[in-house]
Structure formats: C-alpha cells, structure tokens
Amino acid sequence: MNADEEIRDDTRERDPQTYAIIGACMAVHTELGNGFAESVYQDALAVELRASSIPFLRERKLQVTYKGQLLQSYYKADFVCYESIIVECKAVTAFAPTHDLQVLNYLKATRFERALLVNFALPRLYYKRLILSQMIAGPDT
C-alpha cells in the first residue's frame, strides 16, 4: 500500500461522509476532465451526488447573526451535504488564500465543523478538507 492509499483508507475510516463526497467529485472530474466553467462542474456534481445517494442542498443560503440578531447579509454555499458539510467548487488555476477565507466564513456562519474546497480546473482534481476548529485555533493550541 502506498502513502496515497494509506491516506485514503484513513479518511474513509475517520470521515466516511467526506470520503464519499470526494469520490463523487473525482467521478465528475474523471468524466468531464478539466477546462469547463465552474457552473458545469456544479451541475455535474449535483447529478453525481444524487446518483451516489448523498443528501445535499444546492446554493444553500447561509445566514449570519450578530449579537443574536439575524443580519440581512448572507452567503450562498455551492452545496451543503449531509446537512453539515459545506462543499465549495472552484475552477481556477490555483487555490488562493481568499478561497480558504471564504470557506472559513461559511463554517463560522453555520457553525459546521467540516468543509471541502474542490478545484476542477486542473488535469488532476485538487481538494482541501477544512476543519473549523483547526482553522480558528491559535498558535498555542
């Protein structure tokens, strides 16, 4: 077993829901390849999530509260899977720090713990698994 296989097996055991979503993303990328617009990958991922029996909501409105009051401002996540995992799709040449911050804001707004940031634009699928508690932890924690 190589290092990639060990990582995949570990993820499958630790977080089978995230593993299933990554598998759906890989299926989309395998079928379409790179080069399409982000919206095409989103449409295809919706088809694949449905075929994989992964529960999801598309373009879910994420409300933000301030001091207990609901603000008019809101975010829209590309997908929320299993009622607790944000999936943000990109079709860019590389992830930028602003992409991580975008997903961090989504996690903070929802208080969800997990998110996937997925990039379909390159010959190989790239993704990041983001964990809220790890992103907001200070250097001494």
Concatenating the DSSP letter of every residue in 29-47 gives HHHH-S-S-HHHHHHHHHH
Q: For residue 51, tell me if it sits in a domain.
A: yes
* pLDDT, tens digit (0-9, with 9 covering 90-100), for 2-50: 444 444 455 556 899 999 999 999 999 999 999 999 999 999 999 999 9
Q: Which residue has the higher pLDDT, 119 or 134?
A: 119
How far, in Å, are 5, 50, 79, 129, 137 from residue 89 at the CA level? 24, 17, 8, 12, 25
* pLDDT, tens digit (0-9, with 9 covering 90-100), for 44-92: 999 999 999 999 999 999 999 899 999 999 999 999 999 999 999 999 9
**Number of domains the chain is built from:** 1
Q: For residue 138, tell me if it sits in a domain.
A: no
Structural domain of 12: 3-132
